[in-house]
Amino acid sequence: MRNALSVASECVPLIKTGGLADVVGALPTALSGAGWALKTLIPGYPAVMAAMEGAKEIWTTDDLMGAPARVLAKEVAGLDLLVLDAPAHFDRPGAIYLGDDGNDHPDNPERFAALAFAAAAIATEGAGGWSPEVLHLHDWQAALTPWYLRTMGGTAGTLLTIHNVAFHGLAPASRLNALRLPSEGFNRDGFEFWGQINMLKAGIVAADKISTVSPTYARELTTPDFGMGLDGVLKGRRNDLSGILNGIDTAAWDPATDPLLDSHFKTPRGKAKAKAALETEFDLPQSDGPLCIVVSRLTEQKGLDLLLDALPALLDRGGRLALLGTGDRNLENAWLEAAANHPHVSAKIGYDEALSHRMFAGADAVLVPSRFEPCGLTQMFGLRYGAVPVVAMTGGLADTVIPANAAGLKAGVATGLQVFPVTTDALAHALVRLCNLYRMPEEWGQIQKNAMKQGVGWRASAAAYAALYDEIAPA
Ligand code: ADP
Ligand code: GLC
């Protein structure tokens, strides 16, 4: 087995705000079957430190972006974890990126620069007698690593995976020294971005290879509509950029054995029971239309404002909607209001992993109308649990759902519905189609069956990552 270090700001089951954590938590098992042993370096937030009792100290420093720090090693939940214990940066209550006022912590650049710096140091000096051949860096929080590695003279190969190009990690130019970045890198070919330091751009220009989490998003990223100002830079690295589709953890998400469900199911009869339980839990009346769910962060990206406007198309045809989500205050309130106004809409504001499992188990359909979606995981949970995905035709959503159009239905391969363009009208149209298909038992049954059979695991993508690691590892 060869050694790699995966570096990220979140990792399931210890700390999660979104799909990044699912993916980072799943990679080590996925890659171990492909010849690579992964350790995972994450920050020592309070929730993470709570799991580190008895851990071994493998690296220390007096000054990591202005504060003492050490790295602890321990196996937790089957993961080989390295944790950056730096209390000045990470020992804070509440959300991991945000302060009490709901804004980003002003020192987020330094906090995650510390993570990147520690990763580069581990790769260069080794820690506890171990060093990686490859550094797998996730998003802007780990993206400065290649710059530090260069300064230290490290030789590990670097792969930057972009999970969401919307988050750049911006810092004013005055923080160059505090971030220990070389001033010669502060230009258009380096990490300068309209007069600021852009940490994601730093990784894009300096990593050996760049990947993102679906083939379609890899193409979209090089266009002005999706590149969020980094499309030009990404285009410049087109030959080193690839799209590798995320998988889901098919052991945790298995309708036949899911420990978070009361009664497991593999059959439509099991689904009916789970559906009845979900109706009770969300206080939704019975009807002859599909029971739809949304499990999502409530942000502009996810297009749930469009869904609010398109709702009549669903409700007029007996459809119902149960939503679980948290995020933007205005969207939370808008959904609570919709639930108050329509008996067939029910919304729970909050984050609840176990409830999300019960929702996929009981739903007829999961709605994912994202404006952009690098990969998306909930449509894959839907596939696996026979909750037919209705998705925007973008990013990983386009790559994981076989549309129930005339051709897809005729060939008997359809696994969901696609919406294009991502507008209220097109979404309303898709909801009408959903309701119609739901009333055609033969076609509906076929779609559900296809969905549950579709491969959503890691095997192919693990092999693709391993091939990239092989390419960038020093000879
Ligand atoms: P993103 O990372 O952009 O939020 P993904 O679809 O990749 O989107 O991943 C979201 C992950 O977070 C999924 O595992 C999803 O089930 C989970 N999730 C999102 N919101 C909630 C919530 N309110 N309660 C429980 N799980 C949630
Ligand atoms: C990001 C993206 C999401 C993707 C996840 C994991 O949060 O928004 O589409 O599935 O990362 O790669």
Residue range 104-161, pLDDT digits in tens: 999 999 999 999 999 999 999 999 999 999 999 999 999 999 999 999 999 999 999 9
CB–CB of 415/402 below 8 Å?
A: yes
263 pLDDT higher than 80: no
CB–CB of 313/425 below 8 Å?
A: no
Question: Which of 16, 20, 137 has most ligand 2 atoms within 8 Å of CB, for mutation?
Answer: 20
Cα of 2 from ligand 2 centre, angstroms: 27
267 pLDDT higher than 70: no
Ligand nearest to the CA of 167: 2
Closest ligand 1 atom to the C-alpha of 325? 23
261 pLDDT higher than 90: no
Question: Which of 167, 304, 352, 356 has most ligand 1 atoms within 8 Å of CB, for mutation?
Answer: 356
Q: Which tens digit of pLDDT belongs to each residue from 183-231?
A: 999 999 999 999 999 999 999 999 999 999 999 999 999 999 999 999 9
- For the residues 414-418, what does the mean pLDDT come to? 98
CB atoms within 10 A of CB 441: 9
Nearest CA to ligand 1 atom 24: 351
> Is 2-247+459-472's fold the same as 263-453's?
yes
CB atoms within 10 A of CB 398: 20
pLDDT score for 154: 97
Q: Which tens digit of pLDDT belongs to each residue from 72-81?
A: 999 999 999 9
Ligand nearest to the CA of 253: 1
Alpha-carbon distance values, 140 to 207, 300, 337, 446, 458 (Å): 12, 20, 36, 42, 24
Nearest CA to ligand 1 atom 12: 18
Q: What is the rounded average pLDDT for all residues in the chain?
A: 96
Cα of 232 from ligand 2 centre, angstroms: 22
Cα of 215 from ligand 1 centre, angstroms: 21
- Ligand 1, CB within 6 Å, residue ranges: 18-20, 22, 295-297, 324-326, 351-353, 356, 375-378
Ligand nearest to the CA of 18: 1
For the domain 263-453, what is the CATH superfamily, name and number? Glycogen Phosphorylase B; (3.40.50.2000)
The band of 102, judged by pLDDT with boundaries at 50, 70 and 90, is confident
Rounding to the nearest 10 degrees, give the CA dihedral for residues 354, 356, 362, 365: -170
Nearest to 8 by CA among 143, 130, 150, 168: 143
Cα of 373 from ligand 2 centre, angstroms: 7
Structural tokens at position 216 = 């379609």
pLDDT score for 457: 96
Buried b (16+ CB within 10 A) or exposed e, 349-388: beeeeebbbbbbbbbbbbbbbbbbbbbbbbbbbbbbbbbb
Cα of 267 from ligand 1 centre, angstroms: 26
Q: Is the CB of 374 under 6 A from ligand 2?
A: yes
262 pLDDT higher than 90: no
Closest ligand 2 atom to the C-alpha of 374? 9
Q: Is the CB of 164 under 6 A from ligand 2?
A: yes
More confident residue, 102 or 30: 30
Q: Is the CB of 400 under 6 A from ligand 2?
A: no
What are the residues whose beta carbons fall under 8 Å from the beta carbon of 379, sequence distance 6 or more?
A: 366, 368, 389, 391, 397, 400, 401, 416
Domain spans of the chain? Answer: 2-247+459-472, 263-453
pLDDT score for 45: 98
CA–CA distance, 407 with 414 (Å, rounded to integer) = 9
* Phi, psi for 92 (deg, rounded to 5): -135, 145
- CA 352 to chain CA centroid, Å, is 16
The band of 266, judged by pLDDT with boundaries at 50, 70 and 90, is low
Nearest CA to ligand 1 atom 20: 296
Give percent of the chain above pLDDT 70: 99
Peptide bond into 13 cis (omega under 30): yes
Cα of 67 from ligand 2 centre, angstroms: 31
The answer to pTM > 0.75 is: yes
Cα of 212 from ligand 2 centre, angstroms: 9
Q: Is the CB of 377 under 6 A from ligand 2?
A: yes
Q: Which tens digit of pLDDT belongs to each residue from 164-183?
A: 999 999 999 999 999 999 99
CA–CA distance, 141 with 174 (Å, rounded to integer) = 19
Q: Which DSSP state fits 188?
A: T
pLDDT score for 454: 96
The band of 268, judged by pLDDT with boundaries at 50, 70 and 90, is low
CA–CA distance, 88 with 64 (Å, rounded to integer) = 10
Q: Is the CB of 386 under 6 A from ligand 2?
A: no
Determine which of 124-128, 259-263, 305-309 has the lowest per-residue pLDDT on average.
259-263
Question: Which of 12, 375, 397, 400 has most ligand 2 atoms within 8 Å of CB, for mutation?
Answer: 375
Sign of CA dihedral 220, 224, 229, 232: positive
CA–CA distance, 351 with 347 (Å, rounded to integer) = 12
Cα of 375 from ligand 2 centre, angstroms: 5
Cα of 196 from ligand 2 centre, angstroms: 25
CA–CA distance, 452 with 456 (Å, rounded to integer) = 9
238 pLDDT higher than 90: yes
Nearest CA to ligand 1 atom 26: 353
Q: Is the CB of 376 under 6 A from ligand 2?
A: yes
3-state SS, one letter per residue, for 267-319: CHHHHHHHHHHHHHHCCCCCCCCCEEEEEEEECHHHCHHHHHHHHHHHHCCCC
The CATH class given to the 2-247+459-472 domain equals alpha beta
What are the residues whose beta carbons fall under 8 Å from the beta carbon of 121, sequence distance 6 or more?
A: 59, 61, 127, 148, 152
pLDDT score for 270: 82
